[in-house]
Structure 1
Amino acid sequence: MKAVIRLPLSPPRFTMTSRRFTPANPAELRERGVRLFRENRADYASDTAAYKAIAPKLGCSPDSLRVWCQQAERDNGQRTGLTSAEKDRIKELYPVNLSSLAR
């Protein structure tokens, strides 16, 4: 009769309830990406083509670059939506809103 050796199973790397950590990119990188996009947009057939070409040079995904550019447009008043300052203010007020609901 052969002996059966059972090895402990390693835990899964990510569970369904765990969230992946997304490192924040430095503000300088975001600003550089937005500047590169604005300076070189005319060289490409579409915004998507520009994002796909410029993002690897920065070491980020095209979607990250797209989000940064859209937020910069909001901050400059060229696009509707919440500006960065408004988002920061909402984050400041969020704990206050929770404490007022607990009463």
Structure 2
Amino acid sequence: MALRIKSAKKKHRQSLKKRARNRFVKSSLRTKTKDFLQAIEAKDVSTAGSIFRGLVSAFDKAASKGLIHKKNASKNVARMSRKLHIISQGTTQPATESATPAD
């Protein structure tokens, strides 16, 4: 269906630009997340820390622009922060697990 109205053509052009920008940002978020998780698997604290700072900024910016929900961004940042904290402490178990009482 060909667009005939001038404002419809303009809106279509704008939506294509926004779609391209949004796809790029979401793709870069996924790439940065994968890089962070690889650094965590390798237990490379310094690399993971530097990637984490950029990742937090990218998630916050995407949430403020409406690309992802702010609670989704917060959830992802919290999970990655916990993983970074665990490897920086040198433990492999999450801190939330407690010992079961002996009966």
Shorter-chain TM-score bucket reads under 0.3
TM-score w.r.t. length of structure 2: 0.27
Q: Which has the higher contact order (CA 8 A, sep 6+)?
A: 2
**Normalized per residue, which structure has more helix?**
2
Q: TM-score, normalised by structure 1?
A: 0.27
